[in-house]
Amino acid sequence: MNEQQSTMQARLAKYLFILLIASAVLNGSAFWLKRVGVLEPQMYQEYMDFLGPNPFYQRSPAENEQLRVLSSRFYASEGSEVLLKLAKYGWFLLFIAISFIVAVRHKTGLISFPPWPLTLFLLLVAISAIYSYIQYGPLMPIAGLRFVSFLGVTLLACWLAHRHNLSMLVNALLLFMAFQFLLAPIELSHGLHMFGAKFFGGLAGDRIVGTMLQPSSLGITAVLCLTLYQGFSNSRRWLPYAIIITIVLVFFSASAMAILLLFMFTALIAYQGVSIQYRSWIRIAAVSGAAAIIILLPEISGRWNIMDSLWGRLLPIELYLEQNSMISLLFGQGLGVGTNTAANLLMDWQANQAPGYAATTIFIADSTPMALIAQIGLLGVVTFYLLLAYAARKDPVAAPFYLVVTVASLTTNLTELFPINIVLGIVLAHSLFIAEKERIDETLSS
C-alpha cells in the first residue's frame, strides 16, 4: 500500500470512529433526556408523583408492576426518536459500504481464509440462521443479525484495524466516556430514581446510565474502554484522566460487575508491572481483594439488594434448563432467540410477553452465555470463548481486553451492546489478521 492510500484510509477510519461515537450518543439520548425531564416533562412529573417524597419505600407487588409499566414508557421510541435508534444501523451500513469500496479500489481489507475458530463459529451461526428461518420465518434470524454483527465487522475491518488506527479508536472511546462523565452531575441531581441505589447515605441521586440505557452497561463499557486505552493508546498523557473518569462512572453506575472488573483490571496491571518473584503475592492479594469486594458490595454500591441482581441473571438460565430438551441445550433454538432485538420487535411490554411465542423463545438473556445457549447451544458457548482465547493468544496486547470481555459477558449480552459489539469486531480483526504481521514487521525493522 502506498503512502497516499494509507493516509486516505486513516482519514476514513477517523471519520468512521467519530460517527461511531456520535451514533452511540444518539442511541441513548432520548432516554437520558426523558429521565432528566427535558423530553416528555409530563411523563417525568407523572413518575415523580408516583414515587412520592420517598422513592425507596417498600411497594406492594401491584405498585411495583405499575412502576415497571411507567418505566417501560421511558424506553419506548416514538416518532423522530426512532431515527436516533436507527443511527447505529446507519453506521453499520456505512461501514460495510466503505469497506467494500476500499477493498475494490485498493485491494486492501481483503482477508485470506479465516482462522479455524472463527470459521467454526461462522459455520455454527449459518446453521443456526437457517434453522431459525425454518422454525420462525425471516424476522427471527434478521433480529439475530445484531447479535452476530461483530463477526461482520471482524471480516471487513482489516483495512481500519491496524495499530495506528486502533490508537485513534481508543482516543475516540475516551472522549465518549468523558461525555458520559459530563452528563453524570445532571443525572445525579435531576435523574428519576429508576434503578435503586443510595449514594452517600441518600444525599446523591440514583444510579447513572448516561446514554448507555442501563447502569451496568455504562460501568462495564467504561472499564472496557479503559482497558483498550491502556493497551493501544500511543500516549500515556491522558491515562490518569481516563482512570479518574472510569472510577467515577463505575462508582455511580453502582454495577457489581463493573466494580469487580475495575478491580480485576487494576490487579492485572499490577501483575504485569512487577517482577516475576512478586507475582505470587499479587495473585494472593487479588483473590483476597475480590472476596472482600464481593462481601462489601452492598456498602460500596449503595445497593442493599445487589445480590438479587445476581440471582435475577441466574433465573433465566435455571428456567431455560428446566424447560428445554438436551438437543436444544446442545445446539440451540436458532439465531435470534433470546436476543434483545427479538424482544424489542416482538414483545408486548405492557403485558410483558410475546404473543404466539414461548417464554423460552422471546426473553431477555441478560448474559452472553445465556444468549449463546438459546441460539447456538452449548456448542456455540464453547466456540465463542475459544475464539476469544485464540485471539488473546495471537495478540498479547489485546489479551487483557479479551479477559475483561470474557468476565463481563457473564452478566451482560455484550455482542448486542453498542458500540462495544463494533469495537469487539475491530479488535478481533486486528488480533486475528494483523497483529502477528505487525510484530514481524517491528522485529525486522529493529
pLDDT tens-digit series, residues 148-170: 999 999 999 999 999 999 999 99
Residue 277 belongs to some domain of the structure: yes
% of residues, the chain, pLDDT over 90: 53
Q: What is the mean pLDDT of residues 426-445?
A: 85
d(CA 68, CA 269): 41
Q: What is the pTM of this model?
A: 0.92
How many Cα atoms within 13 Å fall on the side-chain side of residue 281? 7
- 22 C-beta neighbours (distance < 10 Å), count: 14
Do the domain assignments include residue 72?
no
**Contact between residue 95 and residue 16 where contact means Cβ atoms under 8 Å apart:** yes
Q: Return d(Cα 5, Cα 8) in angstroms, integer.
A: 5
Instruction: Confirm whether 109 is domain-assigned.
Output: no
Counting every residue written for the chain, the total comes to 446
Whether 336 contacts 354, CB under 8 Å: no
Domain assignment present for residue 12? The answer is no
Segment 131-145 mean pLDDT: 91
8-state DSSP, 199: B
User: From the CB of residue 199, how many other CB atoms can be counted at a distance below 10 Å?
Assistant: 17
pLDDT, averaged across the chain: 87
pLDDT of 310: 64
Read off the C-alpha cell for 323. 424447560
The predicted pLDDT at position 199 comes to 74
> Is residue 352 pLDDT above 70, yes or no?
no
Beta bridge partners, 204, equal 199
Higher pLDDT, 273 or 41: 41
**How far, in whole angstroms, is CA 275 from its chain's centroid?**
33
The three grid cell numbers given for residue 345, joined into one nine-digit string? 420487535
353 beta partners = 348
Please indicate, yes or no, if residue 85 is contained in any of the structural domains: no
With a CB cutoff of 8 Å and minimum separation 6, the contacts of 125 are: 148, 151, 335, 376, 380
Looking at the domain assignment, is residue 3 inside a domain?
no
Q: What is the pLDDT of residue 205?
A: 72
Compute and round to an integer the Cα radius of gyration of the chain: 22
Distance CA 138, CA 97 (A): 24
| Residue 221 and residue 417 in contact, taking contact as beta carbons nearer than 8 Å | yes
Q: Tell me which of 32-36, 104-108, 284-288 is least confident.
A: 104-108
Q: Would you say residue 177 has pLDDT above 80?
A: yes
User: In this structure, how many other beta carbons lie within 10 angstroms of the beta carbon of residue 52?
Assistant: 8
Which of 4-18, 142-156, 160-174, 339-353 shows the lowest per-residue confidence on average (mean pLDDT)? 339-353
What is the percent of the chain where pLDDT is above 70? Answer: 91
| Cβ 114 vs Cβ 171: under 8 Å | no
Residue 278 lies in a domain: yes
Q: Are 169 and 441 in contact (CB under 8 A)?
A: no
Q: Domain of 367?
A: 114-445
Q: With respect to residue 169, please indicate whether it lies within any of the assigned structural domains.
A: yes
Q: State the total domains in the chain.
A: 1
Q: Is 393 exposed, middle or buried (0-12, 13-18, 19+ CB in 10 A)?
A: exposed
Cα 16 to Cα 93: distance, rounded to the nearest angstrom: 11
Q: Is the pLDDT of residue 330 over 80?
A: yes
